[in-house]
Structure 1
């Protein structure tokens, strides 16, 4: 959204992260809808916002509601809260026939006090595999990822750790530390490698201060399994020591509790997390509809199982298993009643072992969101995870997804913006996902579609396929779908889609897709929501509602996101659909 988390005007503070308006330090009560509108006005930094834009953003374009009176009432309540004279308003200005703007917004302060000093930005580069063994590539990636996650907990109020997906863009680029520092505005860079000396495998790591290119810490460790633990302990201490006088005892305890007793358990966890991350970033709707390969998920489970077998007290291993069981439901591999109870049990075990583990709170939040449909408990879990590690992009993304689903779009956009700051390069697919959730399909197309770009991740093409279809650009939708499938290593499926389009147009594509889904339903588990979505795309409402009822009965995970699901947008104004939505909400 491009707005700051704290917006000041006159003696008011609008705290977007806390969803709170304050005047002279005291909270000013404001109802949900006026607060959403105030946040939206603040997000434009004094620019005009039209009534049509307000309706689309806050009501999702649902014109069956009395939006005119709704806007007028919300503006009136905002002015009452601000003490603004409606005849001569100082803050919320009405531009007749155009819309509204919020005046008097102060620019962010440039001179921060020591207590509010800008956060130090750290980048952990992908560890280089110098062993000559390609099988060690995943371990190198996972080692860098886990080092990032561990550092995010060292001093969360002072450190911002750039996400692993952004770091991965600098693998083998040949760019210098100075160039990387300028591009990402980072203060410290950690370089690492895995090397072989005879039969011995060593981990090498170096911490570099970007301002003067000084190596402030460097270590070599062997054997590699134990070294992985030592690197994360020592690099955190070295980094904190260079920023502040010393790593406090509390932070030492946090890091020690994150590490397992058996180094081999940590090795297994790192590999499991690598494969889980590699697959989970597909659009779950697209992935489930096209039955994209789930081998990475299933490989991750084997490693997570090994982690807890080697060390039954290792909380991260249980958090990984919870992520696995939940993700396989959301991506359409197993029914909710099989996956989510196990995911809950694993998250509970992780929290029992380590109450302050961000990954465990993230895992429990996913259970509350996707299975319990309890957004209040989910939000509490996500916020607790972010308090423990504000540099955890996965939580920012899932929290943003939930905020969109429950209609708090302005907050959802702010959460996506925060994730973008942590993950500026790898975020492009996530930002497109946020635009799809907001119904901004035109922006997805204009911002991400370029025939000259060939470095987009699969997620972007998956989302472009959706955006093009919603806009009725069917040829482009087929092209994007084919490209997405090819990038997901599914060329036979891509060829089938292309053939159906060339012989029968888009109707043949959708009907062939329905036939594929019905065949999968006959032969094994298939989420009923997939069939409901396909019948919606084919404009067959009776069949759509039939399968929606079945999806409701099984608590299909993505059913909670009916509000943002693009395939149902033509039916949202009907009474039958609104009644269904009410039965989903807690």
Structure 2
């Protein structure tokens, strides 16, 4: 073979090994051998000049040009060791690649050129990523781990996209889960980075052909962090066809992110890639660099869906780092976590005032403050609405922001038509967003659309199968449909999974009360309160059933507790109203309900369907309140 022929060839074979330069694959006996980008490039240089000595200087000049952000000599040594490991070729008894001290390296085994093989999904993914990787300069590397979100998302999106395209048009929807990325550094301060990568991948893939590709929500994959369960066990529990596994290793100024796509049925690894980059801290980068990377990914992968594949990232890695920290705190689902997440989101916005995703995160956090009665609606829901509106001004394609805005339209503005419109828009933009389906199901239940509500909560469960909150909202749907026996059965299922889940006990108690089983209701509501004593709703519901059961002293004691507590922190007036409802004091119940209306209490959206207030329905004041809150008939 002439040197010209060797240089133009794309596939080389040496013994059992096949080196495919077109796809970037090393194969042994037809099976792919995992090999990172740089070691493969070293191998490519050597095999193209098989039999000849290639000096260290030539390799460094070709693969680590001047200005690289890494130590070239050390990187070459690491690449050679990795390459020898992949080839099973020890340096002291090399049969493929010899080291010639003071001179360089030589591929000594016989080599022959062959025609290129057709590309499969894994090869196609590698080639696309190679086409994007720069061969010189360090502008891409300066972006560090934030740029890797784009590149990693590209590979995963490509893999998922090819799977979707391969599936017959009549086939069932493909389902995929991104398992929590492992933090291999072992440092607690890096948990937000690995968790942030997980959520980024779920969000990115969730926007990809939602009608044909289902992506499991984050809340259902967190339980598998550091799991010892097998691929098949996890796949069966989540009901998915494919899993994405990944890891993050951060040491000093270096970071490695790895990911692979696995078929659940036989644990076949379909796609894998690792990215080694310098971690130079949280650096600024010119906006056009990030934009060009995002453009390249969408143009090369899914031109028709580019808007949905582009992650709403910040213009600076500092803002993105703060956003990751915010999501990490929010996912703790504690009052302290919500408050800390707000601080981080505000930090991200201070760095990048046009960071739409940070505003969407802020909207979610303020909703939780309102939901848990940590702050008055005028502070929580009003701020949530402002943040959601701002997020959509910056990026109208954010499903999360539309869902948050829908929730505030419903629970704060009492704008039922506007809420329905925003819920539907969120689901249209991202059919894989489980929270949007869940919240929309509650909306439908409260508007009396029983069948549609149950269908939406079924979809939410399909996307987030391990979420007990979604299971509890299934009970809510049955309860507001006045199907109390089914609500009770649903709660028993929940409590079998987690006997300490407060919402399960609450809805079970409510269903018992609706059936006139007050002793059983008291037992369940008392347990809910004991499990979560800081939640005022559980105490108010307990007080109400005390009142209905004739336990007046106990009910009055709870009213006293609320009034005393109000001197030190916020207590929703609606909680006191609920206890007076149970006591049968209609005047006080409606007086406190008016106070709740004055502050736009979210609980008032329940009054039209709730059995608890049936005794107030003949009252003119109640009918007037109902007209103001809605929904309209």
Please indicate the TM-score interval, normalised by the length of the shorter structure. Answer: 0.5 to 0.7
Structure 2 CA distance, aligned partners of 1:236 and 1:219? 22
Instruction: For residue 483 of structure 1, report the CA deviation from its aligned partner.
Output: 4.4
Instruction: For residue 514 of structure 1, report the CA deviation from its aligned partner.
Output: 1.5
Tell me what 2:310 maps to: 256
| 1:459–1:269 CA distance, 2 compared to 1 (3 A) | farther
Judge conservation of contact 2:204–2:311 (CA < 8 Å) in 1: no
User: Could you tell me the TM-score, scaled by structure 2's length?
Assistant: 0.63
Tell me whether 1:564 sits opposite 2:618 in the alignment.
no
Tell me what 2:324 maps to: 270
Instruction: For residue 544 of structure 1, report the CA deviation from its aligned partner.
Output: 0.4
Deviations 1:89-125 (A, max 9, x none): xxxxxxxxxxxxxxxxxxxxxxxx9555432211011
**SS in structure 2 at match of 1:510:** helix
**SS in structure 1 at match of 2:240:** coil
Deviations 1:60-111 (A, max 9, x none): xxxxxxxxxxxxxxxxxxxxxxxxxxxxxxxxxxxxxxxxxxxxxxxxxxxx
Judge conservation of contact 2:555–2:583 (CA < 8 Å) in 1: yes
Q: How does 1:37-186 map to 2 (within 5 A)?
A: 115=169, 117-186=171-240
Tell me whether 1:461 sits opposite 2:505 in the alignment.
yes
| 1:206–1:185 CA distance, 2 compared to 1 (3 A) | same
Tell me whether 1:219 sits opposite 2:264 in the alignment.
no
Tell me whether 1:193 sits opposite 2:234 in the alignment.
no
User: Could you tell me the TM-score, scaled by structure 1's length?
Assistant: 0.67
**SS in structure 2 at match of 1:525:** coil
Judge conservation of contact 1:340–1:371 (CA < 8 Å) in 2: yes
Q: How many residues align?
A: 452
Tell me what 1:444 maps to: 487
Judge conservation of contact 2:349–2:355 (CA < 8 Å) in 1: yes
Instruction: For residue 566 of structure 1, report the CA deviation from its aligned partner.
Output: 4.5
Judge conservation of contact 1:217–1:235 (CA < 8 Å) in 2: no
**SS in structure 2 at match of 1:157:** coil
Tell me whether 1:435 sits opposite 2:435 in the alignment.
no
Instruction: For residue 277 of structure 1, report the CA deviation from its aligned partner.
Output: 4.4
Structure 1 CA distance, aligned partners of 2:584 and 2:538? 24
Structure 1 CA distance, aligned partners of 2:170 and 2:296? 22
**SS in structure 2 at match of 1:526:** coil
Judge conservation of contact 1:301–1:324 (CA < 8 Å) in 2: yes
Structure 2 CA distance, aligned partners of 1:510 and 1:364? 36
Instruction: For residue 358 of structure 1, report the CA deviation from its aligned partner.
Output: 1.0
CA RMSD of aligned residues (A): 4.0
Tell me what 2:453 maps to: 412
Judge conservation of contact 1:330–1:558 (CA < 8 Å) in 2: no
Judge conservation of contact 2:258–2:272 (CA < 8 Å) in 1: no
Deviates more, 1:527-536 or 1:329-338: 329-338
Tell me what 1:344 maps to: 385
Instruction: For residue 393 of structure 1, report the CA deviation from its aligned partner.
Output: 0.9
Tell me what 1:102 maps to: none
Structure 1 CA distance, aligned partners of 2:230 and 2:354? 41
Tell me what 1:47 maps to: none
Instruction: For residue 516 of structure 1, report the CA deviation from its aligned partner.
Output: 1.7
Instruction: For residue 411 of structure 1, report the CA deviation from its aligned partner.
Output: 1.4
Judge conservation of contact 1:407–1:563 (CA < 8 Å) in 2: no
Tell me what 1:3 maps to: none
Structure 2 CA distance, aligned partners of 1:432 and 1:367? 23
Deviates more, 1:391-400 or 1:266-275: 266-275
Structure 2 CA distance, aligned partners of 1:330 and 1:314? 25
Structure 1 CA distance, aligned partners of 2:613 and 2:321? 44
| 1:148–1:573 CA distance, 2 compared to 1 (3 A) | farther
Q: Which runs of 5+ in 2 are unaligned?
A: 1-166
Structure 2 CA distance, aligned partners of 1:298 and 1:392? 24
| 1:452–1:424 CA distance, 2 compared to 1 (3 A) | closer
Instruction: For residue 253 of structure 1, report the CA deviation from its aligned partner.
Output: 4.4
Instruction: For residue 298 of structure 1, report the CA deviation from its aligned partner.
Output: 0.8
Structure 1 CA distance, aligned partners of 2:497 and 2:212? 36
Instruction: For residue 416 of structure 1, report the CA deviation from its aligned partner.
Output: 1.0
Q: How does 1:497-512 map to 2 (within 5 A)?
A: 507-512=552-557
Structure with max Cα Rg: 2
1:356 to 394, 397, 403: 397
Does 1 or 2 have the higher relative contact order (CA < 8 Å, sep 6+)?
1
Deviations 1:526-583 (A, max 9, x none): 3221211121123222210111122223322221221234532343355543332122
Tell me whether 1:545 sits opposite 2:586 in the alignment.
no
Tell me what 2:574 maps to: 529
**SS in structure 1 at match of 2:186:** coil
Instruction: For residue 369 of structure 1, report the CA deviation from its aligned partner.
Output: 1.3
| 1:148–1:482 CA distance, 2 compared to 1 (3 A) | farther
Structure 2 CA distance, aligned partners of 1:409 and 1:261? 44
Tell me what 2:63 maps to: none
Structure 2 CA distance, aligned partners of 1:235 and 1:513? 56
1:334 to 372, 375, 382: 375
| 1:191–1:446 CA distance, 2 compared to 1 (3 A) | same
| 1:355–1:223 CA distance, 2 compared to 1 (3 A) | farther
Structure 1 CA distance, aligned partners of 2:533 and 2:316? 36
Judge conservation of contact 2:454–2:474 (CA < 8 Å) in 1: no
Instruction: For residue 410 of structure 1, report the CA deviation from its aligned partner.
Output: 1.9
